[in-house]
Structure 1
Amino acid sequence: MNVMIVEDEYLIAMDLQSIAEGEGHRSVGPLSTMEQALAYAPKADIALVDLRLADGPTGPALGRKLIDRFGLEVIYITGMPEKLGPGIEGACDVVTKPFTPEQVSKALARASRRRERRRDRIRIFQ
């Protein structure tokens, strides 16, 4: 799977990239703004999205767009899960910072399974 990493903290982005690639995924990014993420969204299957990006608290709105417009599986990575609010419907998971590699790996595995099930349903209807 192609995993888009949307995180403005460089070291955290590198950790997420390392975890995703260690699980056999290809990384898209890291990206640090909503504009960058939307530009690269067609190349991704899954998105790891922080709530506060370089352009402000745009993560929740970005996640919604990635789900609705591009059909991505969104995993929020945040130190402030209480800030997600009701707008997270459709998100695959929320991983709270500080995270462990195992937490991110499990969330990626769930997102991958969910993505594959959706692809299988689409194939049935074609």
Structure 2
Amino acid sequence: MKVMIVEDENIIALELERIAQEAGHQTVGPLSTVEQALAYAPRSDVALVDLSLSDGVSGAQLARRLIDRFGVDVIFVTGSPENVGNGIEGALDVISKPFTDERIVSALSRAEARRKDFDSKAAV
């Protein structure tokens, strides 16, 4: 599965990248702006998205575009999980910072299972 990482804090982005790769996924990014994320969205299956991005746009606004336009599943990774609710239905999970490897891997596994289930139903 191709995992896009949208996080403007470099150390956190690299940690998410390491976790996803060690779990057997390909990674796209890390990216820190909405523009970058939208450019790479067609090559991604799921996105790990922070709520605060370097270009000042909300990760929630980005998530809505990723879900609606590109069918990319979104998992929020944020230090402010209480702020996710603002109208973003369809996000697969919200993970609070600080996070554990197990929590990220578990969310990615659920996303992968959901994709496989969706793909198998679409093929019928």
TM-score range relative to shorter protein? over 0.9
Deviations 1:9-59 (A, max 9, x none): 000000000000000000000000001000000000010000000011420
Distance 1:109 1:78 in 2: 19
Distance 2:117 2:35 in 1: 29
Q: Does 1:49 align with 2:73?
A: no
Q: CA deviation at 1:120?
A: 1.3
Distance 2:57 2:94 in 1: 16
Which deviates more from structure 2 when the two are superposed, residues 30-39 or residues 114-123? Answer: 114-123
Q: How much is the aligned-residue C-alpha RMSD, in angstroms?
A: 0.9
TM, length-normalised to structure 2: 0.97
AA paired with 2:18? Answer: S
AA paired with 1:32? Answer: S
Matched pairs, number: 124
User: Which residue of structure 1 lines up, in the alignment, with residue 24 of structure 2?
Assistant: 24
AA paired with 1:62? Answer: L
Distance 1:85 1:106 in 2: 21
AA paired with 2:26? Answer: R
Distance 2:52 2:112 in 1: 24
What does 1:1-126 align with in structure 2 at a 5 Å threshold? 1-124=1-124
AA paired with 1:113? Answer: A
AA paired with 1:66? Answer: L
Sequence identity of aligned pairs in percent?
58
TM, length-normalised to structure 1: 0.95
AA paired with 1:75? Answer: I
Q: Which consecutive residues of structure 1, in runs of 5 or more, have no partner in the other structure?
A: none
